[in-house]
Structure 1
Amino acid sequence: MRLHVVLFCVYLRSMTASPQDDAKSLYRSPQIPDEAFFAETFDSGPLDRYVGEWALEEPANSVLAGNRGLVLKSPGRHHGIAAYLRTPFYFNDKPLILQYEVLFQNGIDCGGAYIKLLSDSSQLRLSYFNDATPYSIMFGPDKCGSIYKVHFIICDIDPLMAVRQERHARQPDVDLTEYFTDRKPHIYTLYLHPDHSYEIFIDQSLISKGNLLEDMDPPLGPPSEILDPNDKKPEDWDDRPHIPDPMATKPLDWDENAPALIPDPSVQRPPGWLEEELPLIPNPEAQRPYDWDDEMDGEWEAPQIPNPACLQAIGCGPWSPPLISNPAYKGKWNPPMVKNPGYQGLWQPRTIPNPAASEDPQPVQLHPVAAVGLELWSVTGGVLFDNILLCDDLEVARRWTKDTWGQRQAPGIVERLLMATDKRPWLWGVYVFTVGLPIILFISFMWPDKRFGPPHMDYYYKKTDEPQPDVSQHPEGPSSLWAYGAGSPAGPRRRENRRAQKKSDLEFKASIAMAVSLHEEEE
């Protein structure tokens, strides 16, 4: 058994001798699904239509050697890049599945990493792709300031206004901060089903779901009911929640004419105040101008100057005490308010069917998609995109996720053991020996006398100290030995066979013990 442990440790050591090198050599470029409308891994290929600086390169902290992505390089600039689908995608009776990976290698201060599904039209030219290019769906992460979002926007033509209208899905109720700040790759997935329901996933975890008919802002299509513009409020409608108490009366001592302010009775006129003198007096030295015309200029008056008698006084002119609040002031009396027993609530017009509402069983009519595009403005560079997929088959999406995103996930113990044989095929022999040896030893030590075959044969017996009855030797008896073709009855030969069998078992055990001992001496 110790030999088995030693061999097991040896193969584990050989398997983990260079884990970093092995981990980086495990990337396998996935096979592009034939069923996909668009699939791109950015493992190779030139960039031909783009605005801004883009690059195909591995991330700074690469987990899989050779796994390249599309990197937005230049910060603080507008970036755009697009590619046509294999065939246009039509919104019919199949789901739309859009997913891709995003890695904010340098974090993000303000900017987006969303993808646009460009609408199919005869005017679509990817060489002129910009922010005004019509799109059907926009999806992906966006951040500015302290607000973290995952956009899901549909763009359709408003039937009333005949203009394209953006409709935003409500934001998820979960905290999205970690997905923008941990500097790890994350996979964003959108499922849009034929029944107009949608699901949004991050790292294969559901973060939001809803329905295009109920959870978009502004709502998709006009409402089924509207307020009647011709409905009028009845004249006897009482919408006053409170009314003056009709049983209340004004108290007898309530003086409505009392002033709010009164002179302060505790203040007296200061001594030395010249109440008879005016603060200003006519200038006695002033002369009337010679050209003054009373009919045209009015009666002439001498200009005012400070009264010399008041220069040394505390004050001159009429004196009055300062005003204070009147303690007897109560103001106008009003009865207290009580609940209105005849209150009928706030009146609003009745609702009627909306004549502009559509009875179309397919109210969501999105334009077919002809291309995918990244049209972004980001303050921070180093945003990496990878493994973009657009398809209409959930199984294709699951297989693509396993072949791309799944390679980054930590493999289980069984998968790691199998992956180790790619470079070391001889490990298969170690696996077989490691698993098979303990089974053989366990059976040999626990059942040393067990032999395969029916228990009725003369070479099968159970080890016991109890005396065993002799088997009947009558050739026509019920013994099953004759049924199995035994040519002669059992007798002394059977006991000899038992002794020979025990001897061979002891020799087998001794040989195993000697092999273990020799192995320990060599160590």
Structure 2
Amino acid sequence: MYLRAILALFTIGFVNADVFFEDKFQNDNWQDEWVYSKHPGKELGKFVHSAGSFFNDAEADKGIQTSQDARFYAISRKFDGFSNEGKPLVVQFSVKHEQNIDCGGGYVKLFDCSLDQTDMHGDSPYEIMFGPDICGPGTKKVHVILSYKGKNHLINKDIRCKDDVFTHFYTLIVKPDNTYEVLIDNEKVESGNLEDDWDFLAPKKIKDPHAKKPEDWDDKATIPDPDDKKPEDWDKPQHIPDPDATKPEDWDDEMDGEWEPPMVDNPEYKGEWQPKQLDNPNYKGTWEHPEIDNPEHSPDDKLYLRKEICTLGFDLWQVKSGTIFDNVLITDDIELASKTAEGVKATQAGEKKMKELQDEVQRKKDEEESKQNKDKDDEDDDDEDEDNMESKNESEDNGHDEL
């Protein structure tokens, strides 16, 4: 009986786990299911189906790659709409900036079913924006932006993204208890509470608008000693004429004006005098403004809730193209997402091995080209020396003829 109950619970958990969307871009006809935006006024770039120039598996590592520099990219795919009410929401995908990206986005956006895919653009309302964004040395972050009551809210924490040229998995988990986790390559890099880490709600407490610091409140920890007097010999100038300076012998008062020695720091200068400080007997400490409950604060135990999600899009800008997106997964199964991302270490190892071989081949090629160029320069120098010698000999022969 006990075993049967355990099996029943296992079966229920298995059945209730859903994969709402998944695309590993293994099909050469991937474009049949994705829609390019035609929003006017933007130079829109195209994606190509590729595993890149270095990879672990030529077929399994194929994704969609940005292919044109200095372009906006806007492409999306629709799927059956769903709500994450009462269950986790997991958004996961892989990013490979093999072009050593200098400035560009690597994130995804999740939309509700109202999105016009052919007109998707930067101002199109979305439910979630998640993923890496890099622009110069100052911006290397993971965006986690959630919509709440029609307004986009950025996470209050700074999450650093990966900035190398290899594949990395990015995972966002939003749970029905209003907590979240961000993982990179299956390792947690940030977590917390939605209410604490986003400004969705008005603060619980505010400063009492009717409270004021009492007029007799003394918040000075020390006071000047009233009995301390400045010494009579205290005041000395900060700079004095250099006593060792002498008037130059070639100084002409009529031409150069009256000579004055240069000024130097006065070793007897003591600075501005200040009386000694004593503990203030009337000190009451720092006055703290009392707080009261904020009447505008309205608790919400469903900050996590996305009532409808049915479109995923890549809507981004890149200065230098070459980013590969792959392994897109939206599910409520945290374990499935974790298992899917487990292979990233093997993928990275294969990529690094191939790239190291490519770099070594390129290094030898560069060395050979450099050697050939040097040999050519030496030959040119030898030819030039021979030409100069011939010219010199001809000149000498002509001189003898004239004689």
TM-score by length of 1: 0.52
Note the 1:14-93 alignment, pairs <5 A.
Answer: 35-44=18-27, 45-47=29-31, 49-50=35-36, 51-67=44-60, 68-88=62-82, 90-93=83-86
1:119 offset after TM fit, Å? 3.4
Q: Structure 1's 107 and 410: CA in aligned 2 closer, same or farther, altered over 3 A?
A: closer
Give the counterpart letter for 1:236 in structure 2.
D
Which residue of 120, 132, 136 maps to 2:123? 132
Change in Cα spacing, 1:263 to 1:151, as seen in structure 2 (3 Å) is closer
Q: Which amino acid aligns with 2:128?
A: I
**Cα distance between partner residues in 1 of 2:344 and 2:338:** 10
Larger Rg: 1
- Shift in alpha-carbon separation, 1:80–1:236, aligned structure 2, 3 A: same
The CA RMSD measured in Å over matched residues stands at 4.0
Contact 1:40–1:388 (CA<8 Å) still a contact in 2? yes
Q: Is the CA contact (8 Å cut-off) linking 2:174 and 2:304 kept in structure 1?
A: no
1-structure distance, mates of 2:24, 2:253: 99
Equivalence for 2:218? 238
1:394-413 matched pairs, under 5 angstroms: 394-398=334-338, 400-401=340-341, 408=347
Where does residue 151 of structure 1 map in the other structure?
143
SS in 2 for 1:180: coil
Question: How far 1:74 moved relative to its partner?
Answer: 0.9
Q: Distance in 2 between matches of 1:151 and 1:313?
A: 72
Contact kept? 2:237, 2:266, Cα under 8 Å: yes
Alignment match, 1:203: 185
CA distance in 1, matches of 2:200, 2:134: 26
Q: Which structure 2 residues correspond to residues 243-282 of structure 1 after superposition, within 5 A?
A: 243-249=223-229, 253=232
Q: CA deviation at 1:221?
A: 1.0
Q: Deviations over 1:79-129 (max 9, x none)?
A: 0101112223x23210011111112222211111111111344xx211100
Alpha-carbon offset, residue 180 of structure 1: 2.7
**In structure 2, what is the equivalent of residue 168 of structure 1?**
155
- The Cα of 1:335 is off from its aligned counterpart by 3.5
Deviations 1:13-49 (A, max 9, x none): xxxxxxxxxxxxxxxxxxxx99311111212224252
- Going from structure 1 to structure 2, the CA distance change for 1:64 and 1:245 (only over 3 Å counts) comes to same
- In 2: Cα distance, 1:329 partner to 1:52 partner: 69
SS of equivalent to 1:213: helix
Whether the 8 Å CA contact 1:114–1:139 is kept in 2: the answer is yes
CA contact (8 A) 2:56 2:348 kept: no
Change (3 A) 1:264 1:333: same
Q: Return the letter of the residue paired with 1:70.
A: I
Q: What secondary structure does 1:199 align onto? A: strand
- Residue identity opposite 2:186 in structure 1: Q
Please show how residues 175-214 of structure 1 align to structure 2 within 5 Å: 176=161, 179-181=162-164, 183-214=165-196
Residue type of the alignment partner of 2:326 = D
AA paired with 1:166?
H
Deviation string for 1:400-456 (max 9, x for gaps)? 456x76985889xxxxxxxxxxxxxxxxxxxxxxxxxxxxxxxxxxxxxxxxxxxxx
Offset of 1:262 from its aligned partner?
11
1:341–1:73 distance in 2 versus 1, CA, 3 Å: same
- AA aligned opposite 2:202: P
CA contact (8 A) 1:103 1:186 kept: yes
Would the aligned equivalents of 1:156 and 1:365 in 2 still touch at CA under 8 Å?
A: no
1:74 counterpart SS class: coil
How far did residue 395 of structure 1 move?
Answer: 3.9
Match of 1:384 in 2: 324
Which amino acid is 1:49 matched to? V
1:260-304 per-residue CA deviation (whole Å, 9 max, x = no partner) reads 999999xxxxxxxxxxxxxxxxxxxxxxxxxxxxxxxxxxxxxxx
SS of 2:19's equivalent in the other structure is coil
Aligned residue in 2 for 1:109? 102
- Name the counterpart of 2:374: none
2:197 equivalent to 1:215: yes
Distance 1:370 1:264, change over 3 A: closer
- By how many angstroms is 1:207 displaced? 2.1
Structure 1 Cα separation of the partners of residues 151 and 283 of structure 2: 46
- Counterpart for residue 373 of structure 1: 313
Deviations 1:296-344 (Å, cap 9, x if unpaired)?
Answer: xxxxxxxxxxxxxxxx9959xxx99999999999999764322323212
The code of the aligned residue for 1:38 comes to F
Amino acid paired to 1:206: K
Give the Cα–Cα distance (whole angstroms) in 1 for the partners of residues 185 and 260 of structure 2: 81
Aligned AA (1:101): S
Q: Structure 1 residue aligned with 2:90, among 97, 110, 115?
A: 97
Identical pairs, percent? 35
Matches within 5 A, 1:454-493: none
User: Is 2:226 the partner of 1:226?
Assistant: no
1:322 and 1:43, CA in 2 relative to 1: closer, same or farther beyond 3 A?
A: closer
How far the C-alpha of 1:250 sits from its partner, in A, is 5.4
TM-score (norm 2): 0.66
Distance 1:168 1:376, change over 3 A: same
Instruction: Show the counterpart of 1:274.
Output: none
Give the Å deviation of 1:77. 0.4
SS in 2 for 1:397: helix
Structure-2 change in CA distance of 1:201 and 1:334 (3 Å) = closer
* CA distance 1:37–1:233, shift in 2 (3 Å): same
User: CA offset at residue 164 of structure 1?
Assistant: 1.2
Give yes or no for contact 2:128–2:146 (8 Å, CA) kept in 1.
yes
Q: Counterparts of 1:398 and 1:260 in 2: how far apart (Å)?
A: 70
